[in-house]
Amino acid sequence: MVVLSNQEFNVVGTRPIRPDGNDKVTGRARYSADISLPRMLHGKVLRSPHAHARIKSIDPSRALALPGVEAVVTAADFAQPRGRISDLGEGAMANPKWISNNCMAAEKALYKGHAVAAVAATSLHLAEEALALIDVDYEILLGVTDVVEAMKDDAPILHERLANSTDANIRPGGLRDDDDTEKATNISNHFVFELGDPGQGFKDADVIVEREFRTATVHQGYIEPHSATAMWGEDGKLTVWCSSQGHFQIRDLTGLVLGVPVSQIKVVPMEIGGGFGGKTVIYLEPVAAVLSKKSGRPVKVSMGRAEVFEATGPTSGSFIRVKIGAKNDGMITGADITMMYEAGGFPGSPINQACQCVLTPYNVANGRIEGYDVVVNKPKAAAYRAPGVPAAAFATESVIDEICEKIGMDKLEFRVKNGSQEGSRRIPGPVLQKVGYHETLAAAMDTDHYKSKLEGSNRGRGIAAGFWFNGTGPACATASVNTDGTVALLEGSPDVGGSRASMAIQVAEVLGIPAEDVLPTVGDTDSVGYTSLSAGSGATFKSGWACYEAANDIKQQLIQ
């Protein structure tokens, strides 16, 4: 028996009515495309038909001459930072140039569907008609869409001055300084983690399995396409309505691209129709904002389904080589894993996360992990549920299973024998705190499913292990008691999976009231304190903690 908690709860663990349930089943819930404002214009984005092309010129004059067209924007309307590695601060998670150029292509279109211009008009049909009147002169270039091909010496180069880093801490990548004459490649980053003596580990092995794997680019496939509405007021204040997994991040990135202080931007979160990591970045928000500024009117820009697939970030495609050695008694003696991840048109694949997590379920005394971040002519990769890790786990677990078959060992018993635990050192360096892996394995082995006999043809039982370090960050919540005894709860985490109910439950538990008496709302960036992304399986913990503290504050005030 596995004990999940040693404390009894009254509200935690119950299933109250979801606070957003009625609005969603009755159609009252408002998503990003549901915004409609007085005098609002409709925007559309012109996208490159080429996977790789130099943009020689853009002439919007014919589009602007069409009656009803109010504004056209190109990359010339966006800030164009230098994007050099040397300009990035220590621990930087984003390169402003890449963010800006992904929203609107500057020198080059780097994937089919890359935005090159946008138009705002009095109707959606006029905006679509105007796109065909924007004249773009392309120099079509050879493209490369496969990570292995992109690493070859004769591969087409996406960024002629791409810095070739060898530091896992430089995640966003960047350009080289002018005096750097290093040969141009598509490898943005290449690094190695090593623990012990992998060579000796393989010498000590009774069985060695080495395999190669390829995983394809896969989109998150969220139901709701991207949409953003912006209103840039005469007072210089910008308001944006959109759905995302973090409206404070949307505010910060939009300000970065537009060169506007975050104090001048308010982002209002709408209901989100799925994200899975893919709605943590900006695409349309700065485009709608600049169209609004140039036209003097609110502008809504929405993607169609094809645009979502062509122009927004999927998970990375990859090439992975796994080599693992073990003794006949099942003890792992050595491991060597090389992973090459496609970043898309700009650096920044989740190769770092993959390297941090790939062998973490196992105690490996002698191991080596090598990672490559490689740009290819595909949309810039974005997060997708434990970014980068499922592909790495798939490859590693497949090899682990093959070892088990070769030595005739039960797959769960193998994982128990080699399982990591509190105090285990991961190959990249960090030491694990309590992770509960052995308790999980014990629970699996104690199930009727595991104990049952497999009978009949085409019957099997799959086993796999994986690791993810939950995301964290700052969060804020404000709770106040209404005159009728209910509690108004304002928190900052977008609800991507029922988190409003989770927050209400935690407040109700502290105060000893029904969860239905807590009325949660996700506040805009002007209404609640800074709250980090609803991502990395961390929102219920971090915002829940803030809600817990707010509820305790209420409790103390009532007692006093």
CATH number, domain containing residue 212: 3.30.365.10
Residue 61 burial (10 A CB sphere; 0-12, 13-18, 19+): exposed
Cα R_g (the chain), whole angstroms: 26
Q: Is 165 domain-assigned?
A: no
pLDDT digits (tens, 9 = 90+) for 364-391: 999 999 999 999 999 999 999 999 999 9
Assess whether 111 and 240 both reside in one domain. Answer: yes
Taking the C-alpha atoms of residue 78 and residue 80, their distance in angstroms, rounded to an integer, is: 6
Task: Report the pLDDT value the prediction gives residue 5, as an integer from 0 to 100.
Answer: 62
Assess whether 194 and 338 both reside in one domain. Answer: yes
Residues 6+ apart with CB under 8 A from 111: 48, 51, 52, 310, 311, 344, 345, 377, 378, 379, 380
Out of 278, 311, 344, a domain closes at 311
pLDDT at 6 exceeding the cut of 70: no
Assess whether 240 and 322 both reside in one domain. Answer: no
Assess whether 291 and 437 both reside in one domain. Answer: no
pTM of the model: 0.96
First to last CA, the chain: 42
- Whether the CB-CB separation of 127 and 120 falls below 8 Å is answered with yes
pLDDT at 18 exceeding the cut of 90: yes
Tally of CB atoms within 10 A around 268 = 18
Task: Please tell me the number of Cα atoms within 13 Å of 331 on its side-chain side.
Answer: 8
Q: Is 388 domain-assigned?
A: yes
Residue 234 — left, alpha, or beta (φ > 0 → left; ψ -120 to 50 → alpha)? alpha
Assess whether 122 and 64 both reside in one domain. Answer: yes
Write out the residue range of the structural domain in which residue 268 sits: 40-141+220-311
- Concatenate the DSSP letters of all residues of 207-275 into one string: EEEEEEEEE-------SSPPEEEEEE-TTS-EEEEE--S-HHHHHHHHHHHHT--GGGEEEEEPB-S--
pLDDT digits (tens, 9 = 90+) for 31-80: 999 999 999 999 999 999 999 999 999 999 999 999 999 999 999 999 88
In what side-by-side order are the strands of the sheet with 367-375? Answer: 187-195, 367-375, 332-344, 318-326, 207-215
Residues 6+ apart with CB under 8 A from 108: 52, 53, 54, 55, 141, 158
pLDDT at 217 exceeding the cut of 50: yes
pLDDT digits (tens, 9 = 90+) for 163-200: 999 999 888 999 999 888 888 999 999 999 999 999 99
Assess whether 276 and 363 both reside in one domain. Answer: no
State how many domains the chain has: 3
